[in-house]
Amino acid sequence: MHAAWNDFKILVLDITTKDLSASCPTMTSLCLGPFLAVSDPVSSRAFGGHITRKCFPKQVHFHSRSVVFSSILCSATLSVLPELEEKQIFDGEKANLLVRDLRKGFDSGRTKSYEWRVSQLEAIIKMLKEREKEITEALYKDLAKPQLEAFISEVSQAKSSCSEALKELKQWMKPERVSTSITTFPSSAEILPEPLGVVLVISTWNFPFLLSMDPVIGAISAGNAVVLKPSEVAPATSSLLANLVEQYLDNSAIRVVEGAVPETTALLEQKWDKILYTGSARVGRIVLAAAAKHLTPVILELGGKCPAVVESDVNLQVTARRIIAGKWACNSGQACIAVDYVITRKEFAPKLISALKDELEEFFGKDPLESKDMSRIVSSNQFARLVKLLDEDKVSDKIVLGGQRDEKKLKISPTIILGVPEDALVMQEEIFGPILPIITVDNIEDCYSIIKSRPKPLAAYLFTNNEQLKKDYVDKISSGGILINDAVIHVATRGLPFGGVEESGMGCYHGKFSFDSFSHRKSVLYRSFDADSSIRYPPYTPQKEKLLKAIISGNIVQIILALFGWS
């Protein structure tokens, strides 16, 4: 590098910062980094000026509007526009100011109106229509998610959620009339849904668009101000969400904060009116502990090992296709409701594996690592974690299909392992990837003890034509949700709540349940000044006592007797 620069003659070029980082990224990082307090290669978007680059022997000096460097026998003169600002650190103080600003907007009352809620929901619909291509492109950058899968599982679902809210919002907002008792006669009562206030949504990376926008849609429908913290593990989608929210929605009430652990920590230090977090149980505990300091209610959407029990009386081809759809075609298994492991009869396992193999080849070809229809693993860290699960001594010799991996592409082929021991890592943690263990049993009823030996899952699946087995499974298995003869698609049913139980989460959302989760159901009783009986006031005479007890009991005969002074 140094020798190459020594060979240069003095050369003056006007180039953009993008040109500079492309031609000499090391120089850009070393030279401009300290000046600008950043270490990434500089992009032209960071400045509104140009760089004049010169190469000449040892010369270094600084002045107010330019900087010259020559530590590697190269200099760059940077023209900085006056409006240039250093990157702001988002700390607890900034987070506090943000919450105060949004609370001020909420307290003005504007987010409570039906008109404001509708305007924001319509803006989201418009955003989804106009920017669909950019959304699917961002999802491809983050996860190599196929365009159709991205549209169906993220864009379309967000659009459906928004359309339902627009259609039903007036009905959701209506006070619910409640009957009153004789003790409050004459009176009327109602339950009034009101927004909670300023809420925080912390989303995750596996469905980074849907799991950001769906809760935000619910929070807006309920009339709240919202802060969205997208996952930094899906940076393209996070950046796009920040831009789209800024362009399309009311920034006095709806904001996006990008960042990682420091930014999330700063946000969690604040007092919110509700927090919705989607992610791992480990981080869920951190969120819950932070919320407890302010007695903030939370919705935790976590996960767990979601089982699929397969009886031998099924349509084998359809079952195989639906398991594949609920595992490998579901973001390459990177979903909290993906099939995590299968339980089936020992004698039926070879038939099931053969059917899965045939259908996998039909879907993804003979070399699934080259398939454009399968998402990649989100990061090198996640890739390494999955490889560790596969390479464990207890597991590596149990692979009956797949196991190939491409670290450069961050892809692992659909992998089936048979007869893995219970104490293997792959059976101790949520897999969250394209690995499917199959556990065999002598009797299908043995599935209950296996499933119950683990924390309650977010979803549990059963494939059978046996009606009694269906009833028993629903009755005996506790999970966030249950789906019979399919996988995953129950979350697309808006009339059903989506949420976990115990370690798979708490609280729920989707459709009306989102509105309810971000609302407070306020009890209101209306009375007039008429019929103000002295019976409720001291002094408490025996006659009053008899009448009050009769009224409380609701027995009309006793009330009449008490009024006449009869026992």
Place of tokens 């609302």: 519
Nearest to 217 by CA among 249, 193, 240, 247: 249
Residue 196 pLDDT exceeds 60:
yes
| pLDDT for 178 | 96
Q: Are 479 and 458 within 8 A, CB to CB?
A: yes
Q: How big is the chain, counted in residues? A: 567
CA distance 416 to 357: 9
Query: For residue 43, what pLDDT band results from cuts at 50, 70 and 90?
Result: very low
Query: For residue 62, what pLDDT band results from cuts at 50, 70 and 90?
Result: very low
Could you say which DSSP state residue 143 is in?
H
Domains of the chain: 92-302 (3.40.605.10), 307-499 (3.40.309.10)
Give the up-direction half-sphere exposure of residue 450: CA atoms within 13 A in the CB hemisphere: 25
| pLDDT for 545 | 82
CA distance 521 to 518: 10
CA distance 459 to 527: 47
Pick from 62-76, 192-206, 398-412: least confident = 62-76
Residue 199 pLDDT exceeds 90:
yes
Tokens of 254: 């709806």
% pLDDT > 70, the chain? 83
CA distance 352 to 356: 6
Average of per-residue pLDDT across 271-278 = 98
pLDDT in tens, 430-468: 999 999 999 999 999 999 999 999 999 999 999 999 999
% pLDDT > 90, the chain? 76
SS (H, E, C) 351-381: HHHHHHHHHHHHHHCCCHHHCCCCCCCCCHH
CA distance 45 to 341: 47
Residue 375 pLDDT exceeds 50:
yes
Catalytic residue list contains 370: no
pLDDT in tens, 505-564: 999 999 999 999 999 999 999 998 887 878 888 998 888 888 778 777 767 776 676 666
Average of per-residue pLDDT across 141-151 = 97
Tokens of 166: 């627009």
Catalytic residue list contains 162: no
Kindly report the average pLDDT of the chain as a whole number.
Answer: 86
Query: For residue 565, what pLDDT band results from cuts at 50, 70 and 90?
Result: low
| pLDDT for 537 | 87
pTM given for the model: 0.82
| pLDDT for 110 | 96
CA distance 31 to 72: 9
Which uninterrupted H or E stretch holds 214? helix 210-221
Residue 361 pLDDT exceeds 90:
yes
Query: For residue 354, what pLDDT band results from cuts at 50, 70 and 90?
Result: very high
Q: Are 155 and 135 within 8 A, CB to CB?
A: yes
Residue 24 pLDDT exceeds 80:
no
Residue 116 pLDDT exceeds 50:
yes
User: In the beta sheet, which residues pair with residue 307?
Assistant: 341
Please tell me which of 2-6, 22-26, 228-232 the model is most confident about, judged by mean pLDDT.
228-232
Query: For residue 320, what pLDDT band results from cuts at 50, 70 and 90?
Result: very high
> Torsions phi, psi of 545, nearest 5?
-60, -45
Tokens of 274: 């509700």
| pLDDT for 530 | 85
Active-site position among 154, 164, 301, 311: 301
pLDDT in tens, 471-502: 999 999 999 999 999 999 999 998 999 999 99
Query: For residue 51, what pLDDT band results from cuts at 50, 70 and 90?
Result: very low
The 3-state DSSP class for residue 427 equals helix
Active-site position among 31, 55, 330, 336: 336
Could you say which DSSP state residue 487 is in?
S
Q: Are 233 and 141 within 8 A, CB to CB?
A: no
Region label for 367, one of left (φ > 0), alpha (ψ between -120 and 50) or beta (otherwise): beta
Residue 372 pLDDT exceeds 80:
yes
> In whole angstroms, what separates CA 306 from the centre of its chain?
18
- Cβ atoms < 10 Å from Cβ of 126: 11
Average of per-residue pLDDT across 263-284 = 97
Pick from 106-110, 178-182, 489-493, 544-548: least confident = 544-548
The vertex-324 CA angle with 361 and 419, nearest 5°, equals 90
Residue 412 pLDDT exceeds 90:
yes
Which are the contacts of 154, defined by CB distance < 8 A and separation ≥ 6? Answer: 135, 139, 145, 207, 209, 210
The 3-state DSSP class for residue 400 equals strand
Nearest to 213 by CA among 175, 242, 187, 185: 242
